[in-house]
C-alpha cells in the first residue's frame, strides 16, 4: 500500500510539489481553508438542527451546504496530497485512522439525512423545531467533524512504530 501511494505521488507530480520549500505549508493552509468552509456551512446547519439560531429558515441555511461540499472536496484533494507524499506517517498513525473512520461515519450520517429527513427539515417552519431524528443527525454530524479536527491535530503528535497497525 505504501509503495502504491508513493508511486501515485511521484507519477502525478504531487511529491515534487509537496517537497518544494513552501509546498507543505501552502497545502496545509488550503486544507484549513476547506475545513473552515465545511464548518462554516455544514457546522452551522448542524447547530441549527440542534435548535441554535431559532428563526433562521432551515431551507436558507441548507443553501450554504453547496459551499461545504466545495470545502470537503478541497480537504479530500489536499488530504490525498499529504497521504501520498508521506504515506508511512499516516497509514500507521492511529489518529489518522480514527480521522478517516469518523469521516466515513459523517458520510453515512449525511446519506441517512438525505434519505430520511432532508425533505421534512426543509419544509419545517423557521420557528419550529425539527424532529428528534433530525436533531440526532445534526448532533452526530457536528460531533464527527469535531473529532475529525481533533484527530487532524493529533496526527502530528503520533509518530508510531511502523508495526502498530495490524491490518496495514
Partner 1 sequence: MEMLARLENTTLSIWLRESGIAFFTSLTLHSIAMAFVIGVNFAIAFRLVRIVPEFELKPFLKFYNLYWLSVVVIFLSGCALLLAYPAKALTNPIFYIKFSLLTIGLIISRWLQNQMQIIKNNEFSRDKYFWVAMISVFIWIGTITTGRFLAYTNSVLLASRFF
**Using CA of residue 72, residue 74, residue 75, residue 80, what is the dihedral sign?**
positive
Minimal distance in Å, beta carbon 153 to partner 1?
5
The footprint of partner 1 on residues 37-56 (CB under 8 A) is: 37-41, 43-44, 47, 52-56
Q: Which of 12, 60, 69, 122 binds partner 1 (CB under 8 A)?
A: 60
91 close to 9: Cβ distance less than 8 angstroms: no
Asked if 5 touches partner 1 (CB under 8 A), the answer is: no
Asked if 154 touches partner 1 (CB under 8 A), the answer is: yes
Q: Give me the 96-135 binding string for partner 1, x by CB under 8 A, dash otherwise.
A: ------------------------------x---------
Asked if 140 touches partner 1 (CB under 8 A), the answer is: no
Nearer to partner 1, 5 or 82 (CB): 82
Nearer to partner 1, 36 or 129 (CB): 36
User: In this structure, how many other beta carbons lie within 10 angstroms of the beta carbon of residue 140?
Assistant: 19
Give the Cα separation of 94 and 155 in Å (integer): 8
Give the Cα separation of 13 and 23 in Å (integer): 12
Nearer to partner 1, 11 or 29 (CB): 29
C-alpha cell at 18: 509537496
Give the Cα separation of 109 and 97 in Å (integer): 18
Nearer to partner 1, 2 or 67 (CB): 67
| Ramachandran category for residue 53: left, alpha or beta (phi over 0 → left; psi -120 to 50 → alpha) | left
Q: Which of 28, 107, 108, 159 binds partner 1 (CB under 8 A)?
A: 28
Minimal distance in Å, beta carbon 14 to partner 1?
18
The runs of H, that is alpha helices, within 86-131 are 87-90, 94-116, 118-123
Amino acid at each position: 500500500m505504501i509503495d502504491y501511494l508513493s508511486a501515485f505521488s511521484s507519477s502525478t507530480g504531487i511529491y515534487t510539489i509537496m517537497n518544494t520549500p513552501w509546498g507543505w505549508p501552502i497545502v496545509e493552509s488550503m486544507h484549513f481553508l476547506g475545513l473552515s468552509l465545511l464548518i462554516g456551512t455544514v457546522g452551522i446547519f448542524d447547530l441549527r438542527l440542534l435548535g441554535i439560531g431559532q428563526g433562521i429558515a432551515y431551507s436558507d441555511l441548507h443553501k450554504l451546504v453547496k459551499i461545504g461540499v466545495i470545502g470537503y472536496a478541497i480537504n479530500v484533494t489536499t488530504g490525498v496530497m499529504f497521504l501520498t507524499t508521506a504515506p508511512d506517517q499516516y497509514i500507521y498513525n492511529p489518529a489518522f485512522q480514527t480521522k478517516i473512520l469518523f469521516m466515513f461515519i459523517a458520510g453515512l450520517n449525511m446519506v441517512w439525512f438525505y434519505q430520511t429527513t432532508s425533505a421534512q427539515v426543509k419544509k419545517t417552519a423557521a420557528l419550529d423545531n425539527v424532529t428528534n431524528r433530525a436533531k440526532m443527525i445534526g448532533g452526530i454530524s457536528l460531533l464527527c467533524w469535531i473529532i475529525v479536527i481533533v484527530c487532524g491535530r493529533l496526527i502530528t503528535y503520533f509518530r508510531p512504530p511502523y508495526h502498530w497497525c495490524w491490518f496495514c
